[in-house]
Protein backbone atom coordinates (compact mmCIF):
# COMPACT_ATOMS: atom_id res chain seq x y z
CA UNK A 1 0.00 0.00 0.00
CA UNK A 2 1.31 3.40 -1.02
CA UNK A 3 0.48 6.70 0.59
CA UNK A 4 1.69 10.19 -0.22
CA UNK A 5 3.16 11.69 2.94
CA UNK A 6 3.50 15.47 3.03
CA UNK A 7 6.31 17.18 4.87
CA UNK A 8 6.22 20.55 6.61
CA UNK A 9 5.91 23.13 3.82
CA UNK A 10 7.36 26.08 5.74
CA UNK A 11 10.97 24.83 6.12
CA UNK A 12 10.92 23.86 2.44
CA UNK A 13 9.59 27.28 1.48
CA UNK A 14 12.19 29.19 3.50
CA UNK A 15 15.07 27.02 2.29
CA UNK A 16 14.08 27.34 -1.36
CA UNK A 17 13.77 31.10 -1.04
CA UNK A 18 17.11 31.41 0.73
CA UNK A 19 19.19 28.93 -1.27
CA UNK A 20 17.66 28.79 -4.76
CA UNK A 21 15.61 31.83 -5.72
CA UNK A 22 17.88 34.48 -7.21
CA UNK A 23 20.94 32.72 -5.83
CA UNK A 24 23.99 32.86 -8.08
CA UNK A 25 25.47 29.66 -6.61
CA UNK A 26 24.59 26.61 -8.77
CA UNK A 27 22.42 28.75 -11.07
CA UNK A 28 22.71 28.09 -14.80
CA UNK A 29 20.75 30.99 -16.29
CA UNK A 30 20.84 34.73 -15.70
CA UNK A 31 18.20 37.33 -16.51
CA UNK A 32 18.60 41.08 -16.82
CA UNK A 33 15.29 42.57 -15.76
CA UNK A 34 13.77 45.94 -16.60
CA UNK A 35 15.31 49.07 -18.10
CA UNK A 36 17.97 49.06 -15.38
CA UNK A 37 18.81 45.44 -16.26
CA UNK A 38 18.94 44.12 -12.73
CA UNK A 39 20.47 40.61 -12.60
CA UNK A 40 18.32 37.69 -11.47
CA UNK A 41 19.59 34.11 -11.29
CA UNK A 42 17.59 30.91 -11.82
CA UNK A 43 17.77 27.26 -12.91
CA UNK A 44 16.70 26.11 -16.36
CA UNK A 45 15.38 22.78 -15.10
CA UNK A 46 12.93 24.52 -12.77
CA UNK A 47 11.84 27.02 -15.41
CA UNK A 48 11.26 24.30 -18.00
CA UNK A 49 9.39 22.07 -15.57
CA UNK A 50 7.06 24.81 -14.37
CA UNK A 51 6.41 26.88 -17.49
CA UNK A 52 5.65 25.50 -20.95
CA UNK A 53 6.61 28.87 -22.40
CA UNK A 54 10.10 28.74 -20.86
CA UNK A 55 10.35 25.06 -21.80
CA UNK A 56 9.64 25.81 -25.46
CA UNK A 57 12.16 28.63 -25.62
CA UNK A 58 14.93 26.74 -23.82
CA UNK A 59 14.49 23.77 -26.14
CA UNK A 60 15.13 25.81 -29.25
CA UNK A 61 18.40 25.44 -31.09
CA UNK A 62 20.96 27.77 -29.57
CA UNK A 63 18.93 28.28 -26.40
CA UNK A 64 21.59 26.83 -24.13
CA UNK A 65 22.45 30.05 -22.37
CA UNK A 66 24.81 30.18 -19.42
CA UNK A 67 25.67 32.66 -16.70
CA UNK A 68 27.71 34.71 -19.15
CA UNK A 69 24.87 35.03 -21.65
CA UNK A 70 21.98 36.71 -19.84
CA UNK A 71 18.42 36.65 -21.10
CA UNK A 72 17.18 40.23 -21.28
CA UNK A 73 13.58 40.92 -20.22
CA UNK A 74 13.51 44.69 -20.34
CA UNK A 75 9.70 44.94 -20.22
CA UNK A 76 9.42 43.08 -16.91
CA UNK A 77 9.58 44.50 -13.39
CA UNK A 78 12.06 42.93 -11.00
CA UNK A 79 9.56 42.58 -8.15
CA UNK A 80 7.04 40.93 -10.45
CA UNK A 81 9.59 38.54 -11.94
CA UNK A 82 10.86 37.53 -8.50
CA UNK A 83 7.28 36.92 -7.34
CA UNK A 84 6.80 34.70 -10.37
CA UNK A 85 10.00 32.79 -9.56
CA UNK A 86 8.84 32.51 -5.96
CA UNK A 87 5.76 30.66 -7.14
CA UNK A 88 7.66 28.51 -9.65
CA UNK A 89 10.07 27.28 -6.97
CA UNK A 90 7.72 26.99 -3.97
CA UNK A 91 4.14 27.06 -5.31
CA UNK A 92 3.56 30.07 -3.03
CA UNK A 93 4.01 33.81 -3.31
CA UNK A 94 3.29 37.03 -1.45
CA UNK A 95 0.88 39.44 -3.15
CA UNK A 96 -0.23 43.01 -2.59
CA UNK A 97 -3.03 44.95 -4.25
CA UNK A 98 -0.51 47.04 -6.20
CA UNK A 99 1.53 44.02 -7.30
CA UNK A 100 -1.29 41.61 -8.17
CA UNK A 101 -2.32 43.04 -11.59
CA UNK A 102 1.28 42.85 -12.82
CA UNK A 103 1.70 39.31 -11.49
CA UNK A 104 -1.53 38.28 -13.20
CA UNK A 105 -0.21 39.62 -16.51
CA UNK A 106 3.08 37.74 -16.03
CA UNK A 107 1.27 34.52 -15.12
CA UNK A 108 -0.82 34.85 -18.25
CA UNK A 109 2.22 35.57 -20.41
CA UNK A 110 4.31 32.65 -19.17
CA UNK A 111 1.48 30.13 -18.95
CA UNK A 112 1.52 29.72 -15.16
CA UNK A 113 -2.07 28.66 -14.58
CA UNK A 114 -1.60 28.02 -10.86
CA UNK A 115 -0.21 31.50 -10.31
CA UNK A 116 -2.98 32.95 -12.44
CA UNK A 117 -5.61 31.21 -10.30
CA UNK A 118 -4.27 32.29 -6.92
CA UNK A 119 -3.67 35.85 -8.14
CA UNK A 120 -7.21 36.04 -9.52
CA UNK A 121 -8.54 34.73 -6.20
CA UNK A 122 -6.50 37.30 -4.27
CA UNK A 123 -7.93 40.07 -6.44
CA UNK A 124 -11.48 38.72 -6.22
CA UNK A 125 -11.22 38.63 -2.42
CA UNK A 126 -10.10 42.27 -2.31
CA UNK A 127 -12.76 43.98 -4.42
CA UNK A 128 -13.82 47.35 -3.02
CA UNK A 129 -15.19 50.52 -4.58
CA UNK A 130 -11.61 51.83 -4.69
CA UNK A 131 -10.05 48.72 -6.26
CA UNK A 132 -12.86 47.39 -8.48
CA UNK A 133 -12.01 49.36 -11.63
CA UNK A 134 -8.31 48.48 -11.47
CA UNK A 135 -9.16 44.82 -10.93
CA UNK A 136 -11.60 44.61 -13.82
CA UNK A 137 -9.09 46.40 -16.04
CA UNK A 138 -6.51 43.72 -15.29
CA UNK A 139 -9.09 40.94 -15.68
CA UNK A 140 -10.31 42.21 -19.05
CA UNK A 141 -6.82 42.77 -20.46
CA UNK A 142 -5.70 39.32 -19.27
CA UNK A 143 -8.86 37.50 -20.38
CA UNK A 144 -9.85 36.23 -16.91
CA UNK A 145 -13.55 35.54 -17.48
CA UNK A 146 -14.53 34.42 -13.96
CA UNK A 147 -12.83 37.41 -12.36
CA UNK A 148 -14.46 39.70 -14.93
CA UNK A 149 -17.91 38.34 -14.07
CA UNK A 150 -17.39 38.71 -10.33
CA UNK A 151 -16.03 42.25 -10.34
CA UNK A 152 -18.50 43.46 -12.97
CA UNK A 153 -21.37 42.29 -10.77
CA UNK A 154 -19.85 44.33 -7.93
CA UNK A 155 -19.48 47.42 -10.13
CA UNK A 156 -23.06 47.05 -11.36
CA UNK A 157 -24.22 47.20 -7.73
CA UNK A 158 -21.91 50.09 -6.70
CA UNK A 159 -21.51 51.96 -9.98
CA UNK A 160 -21.45 55.54 -8.72
CA UNK A 161 -18.79 54.90 -6.07
CA UNK A 162 -16.65 52.81 -8.43
CA UNK A 163 -16.75 55.39 -11.22
CA UNK A 164 -15.87 58.12 -8.70
CA UNK A 165 -12.71 56.27 -7.64
CA UNK A 166 -9.18 57.19 -8.70
CA UNK A 167 -8.74 53.78 -10.30
CA UNK A 168 -11.51 54.51 -12.83
CA UNK A 169 -9.39 57.33 -14.24
CA UNK A 170 -6.53 54.90 -14.87
CA UNK A 171 -8.27 52.06 -16.72
CA UNK A 172 -7.87 51.31 -20.42
CA UNK A 173 -10.33 52.37 -23.11
CA UNK A 174 -11.09 48.68 -23.74
CA UNK A 175 -12.28 48.31 -20.16
CA UNK A 176 -14.30 51.53 -20.25
CA UNK A 177 -16.08 50.31 -23.39
CA UNK A 178 -16.70 46.94 -21.77
CA UNK A 179 -18.25 48.52 -18.67
CA UNK A 180 -20.54 50.68 -20.77
CA UNK A 181 -22.00 47.61 -22.47
CA UNK A 182 -23.81 46.67 -19.28
CA UNK A 183 -27.51 47.43 -18.90
CA UNK A 184 -27.28 46.80 -15.16
CA UNK A 185 -25.18 49.79 -14.11
CA UNK A 186 -26.85 51.67 -11.26
CA UNK A 187 -26.17 55.12 -12.67
CA UNK A 188 -27.91 57.62 -14.94
CA UNK A 189 -26.56 58.29 -18.43
CA UNK A 190 -25.87 61.95 -17.71
CA UNK A 191 -23.60 60.94 -14.83
CA UNK A 192 -21.92 58.34 -17.05
CA UNK A 193 -21.15 61.07 -19.58
CA UNK A 194 -19.66 63.26 -16.83
CA UNK A 195 -17.38 60.44 -15.65
CA UNK A 196 -16.33 59.65 -19.23
CA UNK A 197 -15.45 63.31 -19.73
CA UNK A 198 -13.34 63.29 -16.56
CA UNK A 199 -11.63 60.05 -17.65
CA UNK A 200 -10.97 61.57 -21.08
CA UNK A 201 -9.47 64.74 -19.59
CA UNK A 202 -7.19 62.70 -17.32
CA UNK A 203 -5.88 60.44 -20.10
CA UNK A 204 -5.58 63.37 -22.51
CA UNK A 205 -3.40 65.26 -20.03
CA UNK A 206 -1.22 62.31 -19.00
CA UNK A 207 -0.62 61.09 -22.56
CA UNK A 208 -0.60 64.52 -24.22
CA UNK A 209 -3.28 63.52 -26.71
CA UNK A 210 -6.33 65.45 -27.97
CA UNK A 211 -9.52 64.74 -26.03
CA UNK A 212 -11.41 63.75 -29.17
CA UNK A 213 -8.76 61.15 -29.96
CA UNK A 214 -8.82 59.73 -26.42
CA UNK A 215 -12.62 59.59 -26.29
CA UNK A 216 -13.07 58.05 -29.75
CA UNK A 217 -12.94 54.35 -28.70
CA UNK A 218 -15.44 54.77 -25.82
CA UNK A 219 -17.80 57.67 -26.46
CA UNK A 220 -19.98 55.64 -28.82
CA UNK A 221 -20.97 53.40 -25.91
CA UNK A 222 -22.62 56.32 -24.09
CA UNK A 223 -26.37 56.23 -24.74
CA UNK A 224 -26.85 59.93 -25.41
CA UNK A 225 -30.46 59.62 -26.56
CA UNK A 226 -31.47 58.51 -23.06
CA UNK A 227 -30.68 62.06 -21.92
CA UNK A 228 -33.43 64.69 -22.11
CA UNK A 229 -33.49 67.41 -24.76
CA UNK A 230 -32.78 70.25 -22.31
CA UNK A 231 -29.80 68.35 -20.94
CA UNK A 232 -28.65 67.54 -24.46
CA UNK A 233 -28.68 71.25 -25.32
CA UNK A 234 -26.39 71.96 -22.35
CA UNK A 235 -24.08 69.10 -23.33
CA UNK A 236 -23.88 70.41 -26.89
CA UNK A 237 -22.95 73.87 -25.64
CA UNK A 238 -20.25 72.49 -23.33
CA UNK A 239 -18.94 70.35 -26.17
CA UNK A 240 -18.41 73.46 -28.29
CA UNK A 241 -16.00 74.71 -25.62
CA UNK A 242 -14.29 71.38 -24.82
CA UNK A 243 -15.00 69.04 -27.75
CA UNK A 244 -14.88 65.31 -27.09
CA UNK A 245 -18.25 64.12 -28.43
CA UNK A 246 -18.43 63.73 -32.24
CA UNK A 247 -20.84 66.17 -33.89
CA UNK A 248 -22.45 63.26 -35.75
CA UNK A 249 -23.26 61.53 -32.46
CA UNK A 250 -25.01 64.62 -31.12
CA UNK A 251 -26.89 65.04 -34.41
CA UNK A 252 -28.09 61.44 -34.29
CA UNK A 253 -29.34 61.91 -30.74
CA UNK A 254 -31.33 64.97 -31.78
CA UNK A 255 -32.72 63.03 -34.73
CA UNK A 256 -33.88 60.21 -32.46
CA UNK A 257 -35.55 62.74 -30.18
CA UNK A 258 -37.39 64.22 -33.16
CA UNK A 259 -38.51 60.94 -34.75
CA UNK A 260 -39.33 59.25 -31.44
CA UNK A 261 -40.63 55.69 -31.62
CA UNK A 262 -40.18 55.29 -35.38
CA UNK A 263 -36.41 55.16 -34.98
CA UNK A 264 -36.03 54.22 -31.34
CA UNK A 265 -37.07 50.64 -31.99
CA UNK A 266 -34.33 50.25 -34.59
CA UNK A 267 -31.52 51.21 -32.21
CA UNK A 268 -30.24 48.52 -29.83
CA UNK A 269 -28.13 51.04 -27.91
CA UNK A 270 -31.19 52.75 -26.47
CA UNK A 271 -31.84 50.18 -23.78
CA UNK A 272 -32.44 51.78 -20.40
CA UNK A 273 -29.88 50.94 -17.75
CA UNK A 274 -30.88 49.88 -14.26
CA UNK A 275 -29.93 53.32 -12.92
CA UNK A 276 -31.48 55.39 -15.71
CA UNK A 277 -33.56 58.28 -14.33
CA UNK A 278 -37.02 58.35 -15.98
CA UNK A 279 -37.59 61.09 -18.57
CA UNK A 280 -40.69 61.88 -20.63
CA UNK A 281 -39.28 60.66 -23.94
CA UNK A 282 -38.50 57.23 -22.46
CA UNK A 283 -42.12 56.22 -23.10
CA UNK A 284 -41.18 55.83 -26.75
CA UNK A 285 -38.34 53.42 -26.08
CA UNK A 286 -39.66 51.41 -23.11
CA UNK A 287 -41.04 48.66 -25.32
CA UNK A 288 -37.71 48.07 -27.03
CA UNK A 289 -35.69 48.31 -23.81
CA UNK A 290 -34.89 45.29 -21.68
CA UNK A 291 -35.81 47.38 -18.62
CA UNK A 292 -38.72 49.80 -18.43
CA UNK A 293 -38.19 53.51 -18.18
CA UNK A 294 -39.64 53.93 -14.70
CA UNK A 295 -36.45 54.45 -12.83
CA UNK A 296 -35.37 50.94 -13.65
CA UNK A 297 -34.97 49.17 -10.31
CA UNK A 298 -38.46 49.04 -8.91
CA UNK A 299 -40.20 48.43 -12.24
CA UNK A 300 -38.80 45.08 -13.40
CA UNK A 301 -39.74 41.84 -11.73
CA UNK A 302 -37.33 39.52 -9.98
CA UNK A 303 -37.80 37.00 -12.79
CA UNK A 304 -37.01 39.62 -15.42
CA UNK A 305 -33.98 40.76 -13.43
CA UNK A 306 -32.63 37.21 -13.23
CA UNK A 307 -33.13 36.71 -16.96
CA UNK A 308 -31.36 39.97 -17.76
CA UNK A 309 -28.49 39.09 -15.44
CA UNK A 310 -28.11 35.71 -17.18
CA UNK A 311 -28.00 37.36 -20.58
CA UNK A 312 -25.51 39.88 -19.26
CA UNK A 313 -23.26 37.10 -17.91
CA UNK A 314 -23.30 35.36 -21.28
CA UNK A 315 -22.16 38.55 -22.97
CA UNK A 316 -19.36 38.93 -20.44
CA UNK A 317 -18.10 35.41 -21.11
CA UNK A 318 -18.28 35.87 -24.87
CA UNK A 319 -16.33 39.11 -24.62
CA UNK A 320 -13.56 37.68 -22.49
CA UNK A 321 -13.17 34.62 -24.70
CA UNK A 322 -12.64 36.75 -27.81
CA UNK A 323 -9.17 36.17 -29.25
CA UNK A 324 -8.18 33.99 -26.28
CA UNK A 325 -6.46 31.46 -28.54
CA UNK A 326 -4.51 34.22 -30.26
CA UNK A 327 -3.34 35.46 -26.86
CA UNK A 328 -2.02 32.00 -26.00
CA UNK A 329 -0.08 31.80 -29.27
CA UNK A 330 1.52 35.16 -28.64
CA UNK A 331 3.09 34.07 -25.33
CA UNK A 332 5.84 31.95 -26.85
CA UNK A 333 6.44 34.34 -29.75
CA UNK A 334 6.99 37.23 -27.35
CA UNK A 335 9.54 35.35 -25.27
CA UNK A 336 11.36 34.20 -28.41
CA UNK A 337 11.82 37.84 -29.40
CA UNK A 338 13.24 38.56 -25.95
CA UNK A 339 15.57 35.60 -26.39
CA UNK A 340 16.84 37.05 -29.66
CA UNK A 341 17.54 40.35 -27.89
CA UNK A 342 19.66 38.54 -25.33
CA UNK A 343 21.74 36.98 -28.11
CA UNK A 344 22.30 40.39 -29.68
CA UNK A 345 23.31 41.73 -26.27
CA UNK A 346 25.80 38.89 -25.81
CA UNK A 347 27.37 39.61 -29.20
CA UNK A 348 27.67 43.29 -28.38
CA UNK A 349 29.25 42.48 -25.01
CA UNK A 350 31.83 40.22 -26.59
Q: Rounded CA gap, 204 and 189, in Å? A: 22
Residue 342 is predicted with a pLDDT of 52
Instruction: Judge whether 120 and 146 are in contact, CB under 8 Å.
Output: yes
Residue 99 is predicted with a pLDDT of 96
Residue 281 is predicted with a pLDDT of 84
Distances (CA, A) of 341 to 44, 51, 273, 298: 18, 20, 50, 60
Closest CA to 174 of 74, 323, 314, 326: 323
Between the CA atoms of 34, 35, 38 and 40, what dihedral angle is there, to the nearest 10 degrees? 30
pLDDT tens, the chain, 350 aa long: 999 988 898 888 888 888 899 999 889 899 999 999 999 999 999 999 999 999 998 887 455 555 468 889 999 999 999 999 999 999 999 999 999 999 999 999 999 999 999 999 999 999 999 999 999 999 999 999 999 999 999 999 999 999 999 999 999 999 999 999 999 999 999 999 999 999 999 999 999 999 999 999 999 999 998 999 999 999 999 999 999 999 999 998 888 877 765 555 555 567 899 999 999 888 877 554 444 434 555 444 444 444 444 445 555 445 544 544 454 445 445 555 555 555 555 455 54
Residue 328 is predicted with a pLDDT of 43
Mention every residue, 6+ apart, whose C-beta is less than 8 A from residue 99.
79, 80, 83
pTM: 0.80
Domain chopping of the chain, boundaries = 187-296
Annotate 1-51 with DSSP letters as a single string. Answer: --------HHHHHHHHHHHTTT--TT--EEEEETTTTEEEEE-HHHHHHH-
Amino acid sequence: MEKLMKGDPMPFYSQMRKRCINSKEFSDIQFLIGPRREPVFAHRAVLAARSEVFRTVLRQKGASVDKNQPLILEDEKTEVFLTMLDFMYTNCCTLTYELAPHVLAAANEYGLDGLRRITSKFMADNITTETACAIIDSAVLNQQKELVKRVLTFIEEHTEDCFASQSFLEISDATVSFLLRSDLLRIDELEILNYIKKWTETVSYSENRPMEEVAAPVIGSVRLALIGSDELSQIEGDNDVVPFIPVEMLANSWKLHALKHQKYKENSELRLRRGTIPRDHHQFIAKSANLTGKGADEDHSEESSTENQTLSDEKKVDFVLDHENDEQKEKTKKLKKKKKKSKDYSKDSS
